[in-house]
Amino acid sequence: MSSLPDAASLMLVALIPSPRDLEIARMLGWYRIPLRTAPKVVAVDYLAFYQTAAFGEEHRWRIEVFAQVKGFELTTRRELFRQEPDHPRAQEEYFKLSLGPLLYRSEPILARRWKRLTFLYTTGELFQSAQWIDDLVIRSEERDTIWRALRERAVNQGQYQAESLPNLLLEPDLFRVLSGFWKKE
């Protein structure tokens, strides 16, 4: 059993689409996130990998692997995969997250059923005790605290200007109502 992140760690659960991508993380020590689909903040302590059906019947729809995030930079796909200079997305921008060694949970965190998951913020405390993916979800009373911590990290690392990050995390239903209101102008 590997050492789990401490309770105060900020974590990002990210989709790992294929065993090839996990091998890149293991061998080359990085993970890529397309800028166009990236979460608002990538300045986290750890990255946990949610494995897709491409991992086969025994390893799909679970988190078995995680790694400490050592830093990140913005680059292009061409720089990441120099052997694919003519790839259709070669000029697209990606966050390249530098990782420490891959660590394996003694017991995987399972999805009770297939989940469409791209990114999910969580804490080391929730990650330590989780048995199910749903156990990683930050409940409403903790959301404001985690959002402030993520916002502070982003501002301190120069990732975003303070003005570009909202002060409050809106509940999804409220966000939909407000979005509809603004579109009616």
Each of the 185 residues of the chain gets a pLDDT tens digit; together they read 468 899 989 999 999 999 999 999 999 999 999 999 999 889 999 999 999 999 999 999 999 999 999 999 999 888 988 888 888 888 899 999 999 999 999 999 999 877 778 899 999 999 999 999 999 998 876 777 777 777 787 777 665 444 444 444 444 544 444 344 333 33
Residue pair 132/29 in contact (Cβ under 8 Å)? The answer is no
**CB environment 50-89: b (16+ within 10 A), e (fewer):** bbbeebeeebebbbbbbbbbeebeeeebbebeeeeeeeee
d(CA 87, CA 8): 40
Closest among 109, 139, 115 to 49, alpha carbons compared: 109
d(CA 1, CA 104): 7
For the chain, domain boundaries: 10-183
Q: Does CATH place domain 10-183 in 3.40.1190.20?
A: no
Q: Which two tokens stand for residue 33?
A: 């996130």
